Amino acid sequence: MTPQTVYSTEAKPKPPKLLDQVREKLRLKHYSIRTESQYVQWIRRFILFHGKRHPRDMGASEVEAFLTHLAVEGNVAASTQNQALSALLFLYREVLNSKLPWMNEMVRAKRPARLPVVLTQAEVQAVLSRMQGVPLLLAQLLYGTGMRLMECIRLRVKDVDFDRLEILVRDGKGGKDRVTMLPQKLAAALQQHLTWRRALYQDDLGAGKADVHLPHALAIKYPGASTQWGWQYIFVAASYSTDPRSGVVRRHHLDEKQLQRAFKRAVQAAGFAKPATPHTLRHSFATHLLQAGYDIRTVQELLGHADVATTMIYTHVLNKGGRGVSSPLDILQ
């Protein structure tokens, strides 16, 4: 008797979709949720632009056509075009495992050299005087420490040392940590804010929602750390939200748009024509330190610049003129 062939009724699992593969690889390499969102968006637009063809069937000519479309039809900035290129190179290198020569030959758009917008000390004072509450405290921190916007928004309780008047900026641009000063004038206001923040934390703890996002694999290495006071964000949202990656409902850090809107209103109320944003306070911090005579290497360290040439841009905006040099015309008697 011929044995019957037994067929498995179990369906083979479908391979993950391309964009899901992109998300998995980005998370594996610890890219931020913002970068993940932007990269996925650019890859989706690239696929749709070429009639939903699979990227594996496309190459350099299709990438160049898409980037040209962004520049000519979309009129995007060089930085935006470069971000789209970075997303596509990540797709081919990290997800599709392509190591083709054309990938190293792609030329990035040249970003125009722009001098940063800087406020004078009087202008900074005028803007800050028109702000209040948490947005004021955040703006004062940006100007008083030189931090980037999201570095300030993501500060955690344990990152502030009141005894040493220091702030540890963790995982800044390029994944680097650095130390900057805590202005003595802000110590009392920040401690008062933390008193309020601790009471809110106790409420969250009682509700079972004091869990906070931890970077990388720290949540696995230290299981109880996510609910500890030291790991809590200093500046938090007014309500709970769902983590887009884990699905956990918890209190996230403050939305940076709240500060951006409050700052814009203050600049408009002050009557300034300068296109100042919260990041302008970082530029003003660096410029005013150089004006006060501090060494450029010290300013470089406080800003977290890898190359002193990046910090040198602030010598162009000092009140003394280009590179801090007096004009010979001013010397004539």
| pLDDT over 60 at 11, yes or no | no
d(CA 166, CA 148): 16
Residue (of 169, 91, 85, 116) closest to 288 by Cα position: 116
pLDDT at position 327 is 59
Of residues 225 and 326, the one with the higher pLDDT is 225
Please report the pLDDT score of residue 12 as a whole number.
60
> What is the residue-averaged pLDDT of the chain?
88
Q: Catalytic residue, from 193, 252, 279, 316: name it.
A: 279
Long-range contacts of 284-288 (CB under 8 A, 24+ apart): 284/118, 284/119, 284/124, 284/143, 285/142, 285/143, 285/144, 285/145, 285/146, 286/146, 286/311, 286/314, 287/118, 287/314, 287/317, 287/318, 288/121
**214-253 confidence digits (pLDDT tens):** 876 677 788 888 899 999 999 999 999 988 877 888 899 9
Of 101-110, 265-274, 311-320, which has the strongest mean pLDDT? Answer: 265-274
* Residue the block writes with tokens 């050299």: 113
Catalytic residue among 148, 158, 201, 257: 148
Residue 46 has a pLDDT of: 96
Mean pLDDT of 120-133: 96
Domain 121-316 falls in which CATH fold? hpI Integrase; Chain A (1.10.443)
Based on the residue annotation, tell me whether 50 is a catalytic residue of this protein.
no
Highest mean pLDDT among 111-115, 214-218, 296-300: 296-300
Q: Measure the CA–CA gap between 312 and 308, rounded to whole angstroms.
A: 6
Determine the Cα–Cα distance for residues 171 and 13; give it in Å rounded to an integer: 38
Q: What is the pLDDT of residue 198?
A: 97
110 catalytic, yes or no?
no
Catalytic residue among 213, 282, 283, 288: 282
pLDDT at 254 over 60: yes
Q: Which two tokens stand for residue 179?
A: 């130390």
The DSSP string of 173-221 is GGG--EEEE--HHHHHHHHHHHHHHHHHHHHHHHTT------STTHHHH
More confident residue, 15 or 62: 62
Q: Is 148 a catalytic residue?
A: yes
Answer whether residue 1 shows pLDDT above 50: no
Angle at 312 between CA 119 and CA 84, to 5 degrees: 85
Question: 6 forms bridges with which residues in the sheet?
Answer: none
Among the listed residues 25, 173, 265, 316, the single catalytic one is 173
Cβ–Cβ < 8 Å for 187, 287: no
Tens of pLDDT, residue by residue over 33-47, are 889 999 999 999 999
Which residues are within 8 A (CB) of 150 and not within 5 positions of it... i.e. 6 or more apart? 256
As a residue count, the chain comes to 333
Q: Decide if pLDDT at 320 tops 60.
A: no
Interatomic CA distance for residues 79 and 108, integer angstroms: 9
Q: Is 305 a catalytic residue?
A: yes
Q: Is 250 a catalytic residue?
A: no
Alpha-carbon radius of gyration of the chain: 25
pLDDT in tens, 135-170: 999 999 999 999 999 999 999 999 999 999 999 998
Q: Domains of the chain: which residue ranges? A: 18-105, 121-316
Q: Which of 23, 213, 251, 305 is catalytic?
A: 305
Class of domain 18-105: mainly alpha
What integer pLDDT is reported at residue 95 of this predicted model?
94
Q: What are phi and psi of 237, to 5 degrees?
A: -70, 160
* Residues facing residue 161 across a β-bridge: 166
Residue with tokens 């000092």: 318
pLDDT of 315 higher than 60: yes
Instruction: Tell me whether residue 216 is one of the annotated catalytic residues.
Output: no
What residues contact 55, with CB distance under 8 A and at least 6 apart? 18, 43, 46, 47, 88, 91, 92, 96
CB of 290 within 8 A of CB of 315? yes
Burial, 175: exposed, middle or buried (Cβ in 10 Å; 0-12, 13-18, 19+)? exposed
If you average pLDDT over residues 193-205, what whole number do you get?
96
